[in-house]
């Protein structure tokens, strides 16, 4: 399909087709190692999770909505999950533990970085 569209609209210089690997990652995404989405109740499928995966960044996220399915694919994981319905103090503790896990386990962090791009390509 993309090649068909490229040929069909080739004469229009204002249309640029970008391959997935040419995604522009904002500076803020490039300087951060991991993304932390909000706990907003209506956040069922945050686009920022998709953007982070596209940039090869793992996420520490809640179990809200479709997030668990967004960061896993075919036995691969690209993030760590925190129960979304924890009380604030427990949530802060769980977030701290997830952050420390990535800080202490560079092998896991690098694996999740590699998986982020694979999962993005497969699902989005």
Read off the CATH number of the domain in which 98 is found.
3.40.50.2000
- The b/e string for 16-28 (b: 16+ C-beta within 10 A; e otherwise) is eeeeeeeeeeeee
Task: Give per-residue pLDDT as tens, 36-55.
Answer: 766 777 777 788 899 889 98
| pLDDT over 90 (residue 107) | yes
The reported pLDDT for the residue numbered 22 is 55
Does residue 113 lie in a domain region?
Answer: yes
Q: Is the pLDDT of residue 84 over 70?
A: yes
The domain containing residue 109 runs over which residues?
25-123
18 lies in a domain?
Answer: no
Measured CA to CA, the distance from residue 31 to residue 67 in angstroms comes to: 23
pTM: 0.74
Q: How confident is the model at residue 28 (pLDDT cuts 50, 70, 90)?
A: low
Residue 60 lies in a domain: yes
Mean pLDDT, the chain, rounded, equals: 85
Mean pLDDT of 45-70: 90
Residue 10 lies in a domain: no
Instruction: Give the separation between CA 103 and CA 105, rounded to whole angstroms.
Output: 6
Q: Is residue 9 part of a domain?
A: no
Flag whether 17 is in a domain. Answer: no
Query: At residue 85, does pLDDT exceed 80?
Result: yes
**Does the residue 3 lie in any domain?**
no
Total domain count for the chain?
Answer: 1
Whole-number pLDDT of residue 79: 96
Residues 2-23, mean pLDDT to the nearest whole number: 74
Q: Tell me phi and psi for residue 28, to 5 degrees.
A: -60, -35
Neighbours of 13 (CB within 10 A): 7
Q: Residue 56 domain-assigned? A: yes
29: confidence class by pLDDT, cuts 50, 70, 90: low
Q: Residue 24: pLDDT above 70?
A: no
């Amino acid at each position: 399909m993309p090649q068909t569209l490229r040929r069909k609209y080739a004469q229009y210089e204002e249309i640029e087709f970008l391959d997935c690997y040419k995604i522009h990652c904002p500076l803020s995404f490039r300087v951060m190692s991991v993304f932390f989405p909000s706990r907003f109740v209506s956040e069922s499928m945050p686009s920022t999770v998709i953007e982070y995966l596209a940039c090869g960044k793992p996420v520490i996220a809640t179990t809200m909505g479709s997030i668990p399915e967004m960061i896993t694919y075919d036995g691969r994981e690209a993030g760590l999950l925190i129960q979304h319905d924890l009380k604030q103090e427990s949530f802060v503790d769980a977030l701290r533990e997830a952050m420390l896990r990535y800080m202490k386990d560079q092998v896991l962090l690098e694996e999740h970085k590699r998986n982020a791009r694979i999962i993005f390509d497969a699902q989005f």
